[in-house]
């Protein structure tokens, strides 16, 4: 990564900020933060003390021209931009398609046009057996990224499949903590629900491992523990609450599944147990 130019789409989120912190340690020439949110870009620029290696670009991956411009003379692309909240994607599936599928195709085309060395696409365990619009669009994104390796180009494309990052923007822990601190009851859709969790450090380590070791077409998957959301809520209440906090079950939301999977039955045929921390799903080709 030394003396390279790196583009991060959706770079102002929790993943993006943690990734930038790690990448700066590798002494790149330039890191381009590409996102739609002007306010978050200003805040992030201030948080990194206006580091001269960071370039902030207002843009949307739905706009092919904008992502084409941002990718000029780039060596690596970390594609983090997505609509990721399940209820939002269920209510607006057209927007989810435009961002998560069409936007990903724009990133692929831009990378090929500008001879990017490698594109790393961040996916989700919800793409394994998709029950939601979000999961379906991310599964399609994975298919596009893996298939892009069959094109005649110098660019290598690889996926990483993540679970829920602890404490990331919009995740359950910050929401639960805020309600407990405010003395409010916690809402839970279904007490049987479980999710895979990993830390932000583990998530970024996964990204960098895939960047370093992949040759194109793989899906890297971190081995993650599954946790009951109800157990998580009870632990937070016990640790943080100064009074009585109830857990109210509201019923499962459209598109939600009770449990996620890391690798599908079909994918297991093409998967290898890389080491104690990772699986790799090899491409069918």
Active site members: 126
- Label residue 73 exposed, middle or buried (CB < 10 Å: 0-12, 13-18, 19+): exposed
The pair of structure tokens assigned to 5 is 């130019």
Phi and psi at residue 281, in whole multiples of 5°?
-95, 115
CA separation for the pair 266, 195 (Å, rounded): 21
């Amino acid at each position: 990564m030394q003396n390279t130019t790196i583009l991060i789409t959706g770079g102002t989120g929790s993943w993006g900020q943690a990734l930038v912190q790690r990448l700066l340690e590798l002494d790149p020439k330039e890191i381009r933060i590409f996102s739609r949110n002007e306010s978050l870009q200003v805040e992030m620029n201030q948080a990194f003390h206006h580091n001269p290696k960071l370039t902030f670009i207002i843009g949307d991956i739905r706009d092919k021209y904008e992502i084409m411009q941002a990718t000029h003379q780039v060596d690596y692309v970390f594609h983090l931009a997505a609509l990721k909240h399940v209820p939002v994607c269920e209510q607006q599936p057209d927007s989810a398609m435009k961002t998560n599928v069409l936007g990903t195709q724009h990133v692929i085309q831009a990378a090929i046009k500008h001879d990017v060395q490698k594109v790393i696409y961040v996916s989700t365990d919800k793409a394994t057996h998709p029950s939601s619009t979000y999961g379906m669009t991310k599964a399609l994104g994975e298919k596009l990224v893996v298939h892009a390796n069959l094109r005649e180009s110098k660019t290598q494309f690889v996926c990483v499949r993540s679970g829920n990052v602890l404490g990331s923007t919009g995740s359950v822990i910050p929401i639960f903590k805020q309600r407990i601190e405010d003395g409010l009851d916690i809402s839970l859709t279904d007490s049987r629900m479980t999710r895979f969790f990993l830390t932000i450090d583990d998530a970024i380590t996964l990204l960098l491992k895939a960047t370093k070791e992949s040759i194109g077409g793989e899906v890297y998957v971190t081995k993650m523990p599954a946790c009951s959301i109800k157990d998580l809520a009870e632990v937070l209440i016990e640790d943080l609450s100064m009074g009585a906090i109830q857990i109210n079950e509201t019923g499962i939301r459209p598109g939600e599944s009770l449990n996620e999977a890391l690798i599908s039955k079909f994918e297991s045929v093409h998967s290898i147990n890389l080491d104690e921390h990772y699986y790799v799903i090899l491409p069918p080709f």
